[in-house]
Amino acid sequence: MKSSFDLIVIGAGSGGLAAAKKAASYGASVAIVEGDLVGGTCVIRGCVPKKLLVCGSSLLESFLSATSYGFNFDDLKINSEVLLANVRKEVQRLNELHENFLNKANVELFKGWGEFRNSNCVAVKDRKNGETLNELYGERILIAVGGRPKRPSIEGASLGWTSDDMFLLKSFPKKITIVGAGYIACEFACILHGLGVEVTQLVRGDQILRGFDFELSSALTEAMKNKGVNISFGENVSSLKGTPGSLTIKTNAGKEFDSNGLLFATGREPFLDGLKLEQAGIEILENKIKVDSEGKTNISNIFAIGDVTDRINLTPVAIDEGRKFADRNYGESDHKVNYNFVPYAVFSQPEIASVGMTEEKAIQSMGKDNIKVYRSIFRPLSKSLPKTGSKCILKLIVDKNDNKVLGCHMIGDNASEIIQMASISLMLGAKKSDFDNTMALHPTIAEEFVTMR
């Protein structure tokens, strides 16, 4: 087995896979090291399985609304064990698919944990006993190991789950407590509620989704509460006691209550454990790998991309960083990642999606008198017969001085699909007049973006 390569990639997640395949397409000899399933967080325990759970969970509201359209469901039952098993089957299929992609791209896969020996050598360690399986030598080394969920340092923390654990459960219990206010916490709160689980969400501060458009996050709070999610602000868990399936949770306010499980959704951090970065002399800043605008570390032949750099922790960003790395170092281009107008979404129920400046950010950076906010609030046509569900909110943030659209935000059905297309307009520098001059497609939710006046 070959041991010397033009490029060694540590981590076969979205960014690492993209970099490895692209570099190989330019003729580079590439090795990729992975201690888990190929596909990384997004494919194995993140975006993909989560979105499948969202799809399953959201069916409940559709079934409940269907009676107003003439359908009758006499015996509606939810079996989360079947759903979780099918999700795991799909994850396994995707894992095998990505392994085949690597093989077709002539990228050599080494299964084991990567550990630096020096700035040009990576040891591959056995996943179970830690024995050294291989020593690889690379002209360049790319670190793309991603991140992992944080677990707080409190009494009984090991009794709680992280988001990684949720996809490994045989079935979901009757009652779950979620700790956190970010997108992972809100998404799982909606998923679990839609699957018939009694959900309590503990939020340390006074709002969910801090940093998102406040009007939209407030609307989501109202929608989740109306559905039956118990959101408790100003509370955090201080200790856990009991046994798996039967927990006693104590909060910082001194309250105690029982739950069948607790999910810590309190953020993520770069996954640096076991890499032994110090043996290669790699500089770490605040528990993340410090890189320049091209992903280069303080060691000239070692690079890092994706969540391990803790910049914009999104799968498409990591993929683009990986491809651009390969373009610059093995192709004939100086392509750089464009971090402007990166769209993002929360796959809650209803969805939130945004691109560009929020209203709060625009006011902070430009002043309230220099922006204009256009909004449309309405009940979508699909909800007109059942007369249930939350209203859609669509917003445009516009620079008064040059009429340029600074931000585009939405809460409602298919928000992520709509905002993906809107991001193209903002990337091209669209003005409000461009939106105004675009013909509407009726009847749709998205048409509101071109009919706001």
Q: Could you list the active site residues?
A: 442
Torsion, Cα of 202, 207, 208, 212 (10° steps): -170
Nearest to 174 by CA among 203, 155, 144, 200: 200
Adjacent-strand bridge partners of 256: 250
Adjacent-strand bridge partners of 231: 201
Nearest to 71 by CA among 59, 53, 87: 59
Torsion, Cα of 201, 207, 211, 212 (10° steps): 80
3-state secondary structure of 132: strand
3-state secondary structure of 314: coil
CA–CA distance, 297 with 303 (Å, rounded to integer): 5
* Paired tokens of 52: 């499948």
CA–CA distance, 193 with 172 (Å, rounded to integer): 11
Q: β-pairing, 121-125 with 246-251?
A: unpaired
Helix (H) or strand (E) holding 308: none
CA–CA distance, 210 with 148 (Å, rounded to integer): 20
Please, are residues 275 and 145 in contact by the beta-carbon 8 Å criterion? yes
* Paired tokens of 277: 């970065």
Quick one: residue 367, left, alpha or beta (phi over 0 = left, psi -120 to 50 = alpha)? left
DSSP letter string over 87-123?
A: HHHHHHHHHHHHHHHHHHTTEEEEESEEEEEETTEEE
Please, are residues 32 and 109 in contact by the beta-carbon 8 Å criterion? yes
